[in-house]
Amino acid sequence: MFKELEEINSRPEPFQFYTANALWTDEHTSQMMLEYHLDESVDLSSRNKEFIEHSVKWIVSHFGIGVNTIIADFGCGPGLYTTQFAEINADVTGIDFSERSIRYAKETAARKGLNIDYVCQNYLEFETEKRVDLITMIMCDFCALSPPQRKKMLTGFYRLLNVGGSVLLDVYSLNAFDQREEVSAYDYMQLNGFWSSGNYYGFLNTFKYDEEKVILDKYTIIEEARTQTVYNWLQYFSPESLRKEFEENGFKVKELYSDVAGKAFASESTEIAIVVKKT
């Protein structure tokens, strides 16, 4: 037992392990994530309904989205943004590797009579000959990627965009990093049964990496028949580090905001939304 506890409480190197599929492709957790997506009152997997509606209105206005504007939404989930973009006759592609979320998004599009191209795939591997006018990546998905993964993502974005096309995405700021603390917790049926439909015990170890500005929430889930570890990494950014990352990958930074609904940037914000262009 001592060795097992040592392993549970061990601190890995930043982004040493990648287990995103444990959340999005597991039969039970993908259902739980979809339920969080569709809960219109909370900001968990997706923003709340009121924020999304406000955000879509701002995005449509700010980027001049209309008939035949070509949009790719990375990490589209159940289509909360893509559906609304398609309703104003934009040409929309949604990419997500949760089969359950993509299935729900396709059913919604069919019910509404919308022509949306949904791709069930890890967006790091997504390729197409199509070129787009706007790429969106919302709910701080960019923060969950390691530095090499982010570089690969931005290289793919640059290749996918038309000249003059834009990227809009959001990240967590250093203010949010400063608000996090290292913790160790142990619960029976941790997160109200999120990890399994059967009985389990859950350990949570939150580690802060001050030099890299990275947080890890490490979940160890112990069931009768299996033990699994899920690593939830988050990179936090300053405005300067975010600008640098995009500029090093060929983009011109146009604007910073406090969220993807166009709220004016404030130094105390816990999030940063960035608009960049391919020149």
22 lies in a domain? no
Number of residues that this document lists for the chain: 279
> pLDDT (tens digit, 9 = 90+) per residue, 5-21?
999 999 999 999 999 87
State how far the Cα of 70 lies from the Cα of 92, in Å rounded to an integer.
6
Helix (H) or strand (E) segment spanning residue 162: strand 161-173
Arithmetic mean of pLDDT, 132-159? 98
Q: Tell me, what CATH number does 183's domain have?
A: 2.20.25
21 lies in a domain? no
- The verdict on 64 and 126 lying in the same domain is yes
Give residue 36's pLDDT.
73
Asked whether residue 206 carries a pLDDT value surpassing 90, the answer given is: yes
- The verdict on 62 and 159 lying in the same domain is yes
216 lies in a domain? yes
- Let me know: does 63 contact 276? Beta carbons within 8 Å: no
Burial of 34 by CB count in 10 Å (0-12 exposed, 13-18 middle, 19+ buried)? Answer: buried
Q: What is the pTM of this model?
A: 0.94
- The verdict on 260 and 248 lying in the same domain is yes
- The verdict on 182 and 274 lying in the same domain is no
Q: Tell me, what CATH number does 37's domain have?
A: 3.40.50.150
- The verdict on 43 and 138 lying in the same domain is yes
- The verdict on 147 and 226 lying in the same domain is no
271 lies in a domain? yes
> pLDDT (tens digit, 9 = 90+) per residue, 84-115?
999 999 999 999 999 999 999 999 999 999 99
- The verdict on 70 and 120 lying in the same domain is yes
Of residues 43 and 165, more confidence is placed in 165
Type of residue at 43: D
130 lies in a domain? yes
Looking at the structure of the chain, the number of domains it has is: 2
Asked whether residue 204 carries a pLDDT value surpassing 70, the answer given is: yes
Give residue 34's pLDDT.
80
- The verdict on 81 and 138 lying in the same domain is yes
- The verdict on 67 and 162 lying in the same domain is yes
19 lies in a domain? no
Q: Which domain holds residue 245?
A: 27-171+238-278
Quickly state the pLDDT bin for 45 (edges 50, 70, 90). very low
Asked whether residue 65 carries a pLDDT value surpassing 70, the answer given is: yes
Mean pLDDT taken over the chain: 94
Query: How far, in Å, are 8, 75, 192 from residue 126 at the CA level?
Result: 34, 11, 34
- The verdict on 99 and 196 lying in the same domain is no
Asked whether residue 195 carries a pLDDT value surpassing 60, the answer given is: yes
State how far the Cα of 204 lies from the Cα of 92, in Å rounded to an integer.
38
- The verdict on 94 and 60 lying in the same domain is yes
- The verdict on 213 and 192 lying in the same domain is yes
20 lies in a domain? no
113 lies in a domain? yes
